[in-house]
Amino acid sequence: MYKVKIGISGNTSAPCLQVIQSKGFVVVSMSTHLVSDDVWSAVHDYSAEKDGLFFNATNLEELLGLIAMWEHRGDSWHAQHDEIDVYHKLQDDSPLYDKDGNLIEQE
């Protein structure tokens, strides 16, 4: 049993924006892109900047995650070789489902 369960949802964007702003960042763009002459895409582009730092993501939750990663790791934010191995192992060990949500048995 979890004490807290949070996933990206319609109710997480506003709190993430508030946290980003409370860290002193200014959200400098929130744009929606035109797909064709009359169709707007739901793809957004969010950017934040502060003191020469610039972060960009497709949603505010991702943007806050990038900021938190940089605050934790600083200029050494890039993945190290052993971290890439751990990431690939997590992917390889993850279950695979078909389009109907049925578990696909892997060999």
Decide if 59 is inside a domain.
Answer: yes
> Could you report the per-residue pLDDT of 76-106, keeping only the tens digit for each?
999 999 999 999 999 999 999 999 999 998 7
- Can you count the helices (H) and strands (E) in the chain? 3, 5
In the numeric block, which tokens belong to residue 43? 């793809």
Quick one: which H or E segment has residue 19? Answer: helix 13-22
Question: d(Cα 4, Cα 1) in Å, to the nearest integer?
Answer: 9
Question: d(Cα 73, Cα 69) in Å, to the nearest integer?
Answer: 6
For residue 54, the enclosing domain spans: 13-79
How many domains is the chain built from?
1
Predicted TM-score (pTM) of this structure: 0.79
Decide if 48 is inside a domain.
Answer: yes
Decide if 62 is inside a domain.
Answer: yes
Report the pLDDT value the prediction gives residue 32, as an integer from 0 to 100: 66
Decide if 104 is inside a domain.
Answer: no
pLDDT band per the 50, 70, 90 thresholds, residue 14: very high
